[in-house]
Structure formats: structure tokens, C-alpha cells
């Protein structure tokens, strides 16, 4: 089993390397750092611009392969992800943002899975009951609301709640309040800021799990082996828990890995709405500012998140499905 997970993890590491390098070449071809300097006054010559870019390994006169090699060695040897066209260190920008975004994406994914699967199981066992019909209607409604609209709705609801509770505990902007000191107050402040963005991301994410888990479980509920389990003397609830649910969870576990990129994309919008300085916003900023190194670092971050999700999914699959351990 350990071997199985290690083999999978090695595969994902390879995937991160390939994806990141591919992004480097794509970004270098399509983003032009020189344009950042063209609007500056006094007007600079092309030569001056290129010289200004040279220390950051962005000089277009240097062959791409050379620039790539410089970038690769600095990443692998010093874990230095390079600098933006204006000389800002990518590492400095990313360190804090990555933490904030990882927090958001992880929490939202976990919550989506837990809420979605729980709802799916609850409603599948009560197919066509009022709880099933109601929650399905809500889920389909939510499914059709664009992420930005949903985030704004969450903001409105939060403001209304704040006003009626007479207390400002739901923060609609930023990832922390200025001027908070001490470890515990800082953590509490950060968590409070996390509530609304997480809620809006979860709202976008849980629907898929609810609807797929419901239909997956409905398929297995009618399976012959559940009937066999009941024939040996289990009650319906026991048979569902021990035989149907475990089988029906396997495909969900596998799909979690591949939902991480979608959650990350959702985070881009959510972060903008809630004025968060996270990776999602940084991603948009780096592309619009022709920041090759920043874009690549963001891509590497997203790939890492996906890989972590996938490895967790693999571990969950092994846990759920003992057949994997044998083969």
C-alpha cells in the first residue's frame, strides 16, 4: 500500500515538473515584459529596456533556452523563483499569498466534500422525499449562479447579518485587520476573515459532490450485493453503510483531486470580490503585467495543490478499496 502511494506521488511530482516547465515556455512566448517599460516617461529605447530586463533573466535578446536554464537552476538550487520585470522578488510576493490561498482552497475543498457527500448520502437514502427534492432544487439553483454573483450575494447577506447582530464579526474585505498583535488575536482575526470567502467557495463547490454522490449511491443502493447483505441479516441502514456507501465513495475520492484546479479558478474571482491578497489575484496581476516568473510560480503552486489533492485522494481510495492493495 505504501509502495502504491509512493509510486503515485512520484508520478505527480513528475507532472508538476512538466507542467511548470511547459508554463515557463508558454509564458515566455506570449508575455512581453518590455511593454511594462514602454509607457514610462522619459521614453526609453528598446536597447535600454532590454538592458534593464537583463539582470532578471528576462532580456529577450538572450536565447529562450538560456533564460530557461538560468531560471531552472535558480529554482532547483536556491528555490529562487526569479523577479518580476520591475525587479520585485517573486519569492517575497508568493510566500505570504500562497499560505493565504492554500488555507482558503484547502478549507473550501474539505468543506465542499464533507457537505456535498453528506447531503448526497442523506438525500439518496430518502430519494424523492421532501428533503431530497428541496435540497436538489437548492443545489441546482446554486449550480447556475456565477461565482462572482454568488460571492456578492454572500457579501450582502453578511452585511445584513452584521447590521442585525449589531456586531462586526463577518469581514467582507481583506485577509486580516491592520493593527492586530499577539499570536492568538492574529489567528482569531485571520479565521474571521476566512469565513466569508470560504463560504462562497464552498457554495460553489459542494453542489457537484451532492449531485454526483447522490446518483452514485442510488446506483449502488439498488445493487444486488446490497440485497445479499440484507439477506444475511443486516438492516437496510447497516447494509447501506457497510456495503453501498463504501463502494459509492470510491469514485468521489478519485474526483476530489481533479476538482482542486476548479476551486483555484473559483478562488481567483472570490479573492477579487473579497479584496484578498491571495494567489488567485496574484495570478491575474502577473499575467496582466507580463510577469513571466510570477505566472510560472503561480502555475507551480496550482499544480502542487492538485498533486496534494490527488495524493490524498489516492490514500483515501486505498483505504476505501482494499482491492487496490492486492494488485
Tell whether residue 3 is a contact of other proteins (CB under 8 A).
Answer: no
Q: Please give the grid coordinates belonging to residue 186.
A: 492574529
Contact with other proteins (CB under 8 A): which of 35, 48, 163, 238? 238
- Region 268-287 residues binding other proteins, contact defined as CB under 8 A: none
DSSP state letter for 83: B
Q: Please give the grid coordinates belonging to residue 283.
A: 495570478
253: left (phi over 0), alpha (psi -120 to 50) or beta: alpha
Q: Please give the grid coordinates belonging to residue 87.
A: 525587479
Q: Which stretch binds other proteins (CB under 8 A): 50-58, 137-145, 190-198, 246-254?
A: 246-254
Give the per-residue contact string, 249-268, with other proteins (x = CB under 8 A; - = no): -x------------------
Tell whether residue 234 is a contact of other proteins (CB under 8 A).
Answer: yes
User: How many CA atoms does the CB half-sphere of 308 hold within 13 Å?
Assistant: 13
Sign of the four-CA dihedral 152, 166, 177, 106: negative
How many residues lie near other proteins (CB under 8 A)? 27
Give the per-residue contact string, 205-224, with other proteins (x = CB under 8 A; - = no): ------------------xx
Spatial distance between the Cα atoms of 206 and 131, rounded to a whole number of angstroms: 17
User: In this complex, which beta carbon is closest to other proteins, that of residue 25 or of residue 225?
Assistant: 225
Spatial distance between the Cα atoms of 187 and 178, rounded to a whole number of angstroms: 13
Tell whether residue 124 is a contact of other proteins (CB under 8 A).
Answer: no
DSSP state letter for 245: I
Tell whether residue 235 is a contact of other proteins (CB under 8 A).
Answer: yes
Q: Are 190 and 182 in contact (CB under 8 A)?
A: no
User: In this complex, which beta carbon is closest to other proteins, that of residue 102 or of residue 315?
Assistant: 315
| In the complex, least distance from residue 225 CB atom to other proteins, rounded to whole angstroms | 4
Binding site residues, other proteins, CB under 8 A: 11, 223-238, 242-243, 246-247, 250, 320-323, 326
Amino acid at each position: 500500500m505504501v509502495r502504491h502511494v509512493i509510486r503515485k506521488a512520484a508520478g505527480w511530482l513528475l507532472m508538476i515538473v512538466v507542467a511548470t516547465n511547459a508554463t515557463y515556455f508558454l509564458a515566455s512566448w506570449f508575455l512581453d515584459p518590455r511593454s511594462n517599460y514602454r509607457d514610462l516617461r522619459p521614453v526609453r529605447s528598446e536597447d535600454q529596456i532590454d538592458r534593464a530586463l537583463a539582470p532578471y533573466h528576462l532580456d529577450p535578446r538572450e536565447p529562450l533556452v538560456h533564460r530557461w536554464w538560468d531560471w531552472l537552476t535558480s529554482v532547483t538550487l536556491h528555490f529562487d523563483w526569479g523577479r518580476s520585470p520591475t525587479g520585485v522578488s517573486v519569492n517575497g510576493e508568493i510566500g505570504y499569498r500562497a499560505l493565504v490561498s492554500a488555507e482558503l482552497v484547502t478549507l473550501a475543498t474539505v468543506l465542499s466534500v464533507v457537505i456535498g457527500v453528506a447531503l448526497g448520502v442523506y438525500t439518496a437514502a430518502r430519494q424523492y422525499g421532501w428533503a431530497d427534492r428541496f435540497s436538489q432544487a437548492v443545489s441546482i439553483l446554486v449550480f447556475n449562479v456565477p461565482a462572482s454573483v454568488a460571492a456578492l450575494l454572500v457579501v450582502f447577506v453578511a452585511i445584513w447579518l452584521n447590521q442585525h447582530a449589531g456586531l462586526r464579526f463577518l469581514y467582507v474585505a481583506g485577509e486580516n485587520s491592520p493593527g492586530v498583535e499577539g499570536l492568538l488575536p492574529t489567528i482569531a482575526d485571520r479565521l474571521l476573515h476566512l469565513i466569508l470567502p470560504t463560504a462562497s467557495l464552498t457554495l460553489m463547490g459542494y453542489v457537484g459532490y451532492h449531485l454526483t454522490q447522490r446518483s452514485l449511491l442510488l446506483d449502488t443502493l439498488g445493487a444486488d450485493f446490497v440485497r445479499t447483505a440484507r439477506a444475511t441479516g443486516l438492516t437496510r441502514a447497516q447494509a447501506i453503510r457497510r456495503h453501498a456507501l463504501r463502494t459509492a465513495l470510491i469514485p468521489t475520492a478519485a474526483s476530489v483531486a481533479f476538482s482542486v484546479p476548479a476551486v483555484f479558478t473559483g478562488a481567483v474571482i472570490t479573492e477579487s470580490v473579497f479584496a484578498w491578497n491571495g494567489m488567485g489575484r496574484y495570478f491575474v496581476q502577473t499575467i496582466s503585467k507580463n510577469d513571466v516568473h510570477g505566472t510560472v510560480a503561480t502555475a507551480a503552486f496550482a499544480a502542487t495543490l492538485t498533486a496534494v489533492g490527488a495524493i490524498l485522494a489516492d490514500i483515501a481510495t486505498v483505504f476505501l478499496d482494499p482491492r487496490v492493495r492486492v494488485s
